[in-house]
Structure 1
Amino acid sequence: MVPLGNLQSIALFIALITQTAAMFTITAEPGTDMWRKPPSTDVFSAPTASEPEAVIHNALNKFVSATVSFKFTPEVQYDQAGIVLALRPRGAANATGIPPKWIKSGIEFYQGVPRMGTVGTDTWSDWSIAPVATESGSASSKGVSWTTVLVEKHVDELGDSLWVYQVNGEERLPLREINWPFGYGDEWELKVEAYAAKPGSGAPLEVEFKDFAVQWKD
Structure 2
Amino acid sequence: MTCSESSKQAMMSGWQFQNSEQPVPSREELASSFTIKARPSTDIWAKPPSTHRFNAPVLYKTMPLASFQRARVRVSAKWTTLYDQGGLILALNRRGGGHDDSDKDRKWIKAGIEFVEGMPRCSTVARDRWADWSLSPLPPGGQSAGDSAGADDEGDGVGVTIEMERRARDQTLWVYAVGKDGARTPMREVTWLFEDEEQLECWVGVYVCRPSSAAELGDLYVSFSQLDI
Q: Which residue of 2 aligns with 1:194?
A: 206
Task: Give the counterpart of 1:147 among 149, 160, 163.
Answer: 160
Q: Is the 8 A contact 1:5 1:17 kept in 2?
A: yes
| Amino acid across the alignment from 1:36 | A
* Distance of aligned partners of 1:15 and 1:185 in 2 relative to their CA distance in 1, 3 Å threshold: closer
**Which whole-Å deviations, capped at 9, do the CAs of 1:174-209 have from their partners, x for residues lacking one?**
000001112235211111011100000222100111
What is the percent sequence identity of the aligned residues? 35
4+ residue runs of structure 1 moved beyond 2 angstroms?
3-10, 14-20, 92-99, 143-146
| Amino acid across the alignment from 1:80 | Q
* Distance of aligned partners of 1:115 and 1:59 in 2 relative to their CA distance in 1, 3 Å threshold: same
Q: Which residue of 1 aligns with 2:193?
A: 181
Q: When you count helix as a share of all residues, which structure comes out higher? A: 2
TM-score, length-scaled by structure 2:
0.78
Q: Which residue of 1 aligns with 2:91?
A: 86
Instruction: Describe how 1:69-218 pairs up with structure 2 within 5 A.
Output: 69-93=74-98, 98=103, 100-135=106-141, 144-156=157-169, 159-169=170-180, 170-200=182-212, 201=214, 202-214=217-229
Q: Is the 8 A contact 1:15 1:29 kept in 2?
A: no
| Amino acid across the alignment from 1:179 | T
How far did residue 97 of structure 1 move?
Answer: 5.0
* Distance of aligned partners of 1:112 and 1:45 in 2 relative to their CA distance in 1, 3 Å threshold: same
Q: Is the 8 A contact 1:18 1:25 kept in 2?
A: no
Task: Give the counterpart of 1:41 among 46, 51, 54.
Answer: 51
Q: Report the secondary structure of 2:198's partner residue.
A: coil
Q: Report the secondary structure of 2:193's partner residue.
A: helix
* Distance of aligned partners of 1:93 and 1:164 in 2 relative to their CA distance in 1, 3 Å threshold: farther
Q: When you count strand as a share of all residues, which structure comes out higher? A: 1
Q: Is the 8 A contact 2:94 2:100 kept in 1?
A: no
Q: How big is the alpha-carbon RMSD for the aligned residues of Structure 1 and Structure 2?
A: 2.7
Q: Report the secondary structure of 1:186's partner residue.
A: helix
| Amino acid across the alignment from 2:48 | P
**Which whole-Å deviations, capped at 9, do the CAs of 1:33-74 have from their partners, x for residues lacking one?**
000011110000110225xxxxx2211111110011121011
User: For 1:96 and 1:208, how far apart are their aligned partners in 2?
Assistant: 31
Q: Is the 8 A contact 1:93 1:190 kept in 2?
A: no
User: For 2:197 and 2:18, how far apart are their aligned partners in 1?
Assistant: 34
Length, aligned pairs only: 200
Unaligned runs of 5+ in 2: 8-15, 145-155
User: For 2:69 and 2:17, how far apart are their aligned partners in 1?
Assistant: 29
User: For 2:221 and 2:135, how far apart are their aligned partners in 1?
Assistant: 22
* Distance of aligned partners of 1:32 and 1:179 in 2 relative to their CA distance in 1, 3 Å threshold: same
TM-score, length-scaled by structure 1:
0.81
Q: Is the 8 A contact 1:108 1:116 kept in 2?
A: yes
**Which whole-Å deviations, capped at 9, do the CAs of 1:79-115 have from their partners, x for residues lacking one?**
0000110101111345685261111000000010101
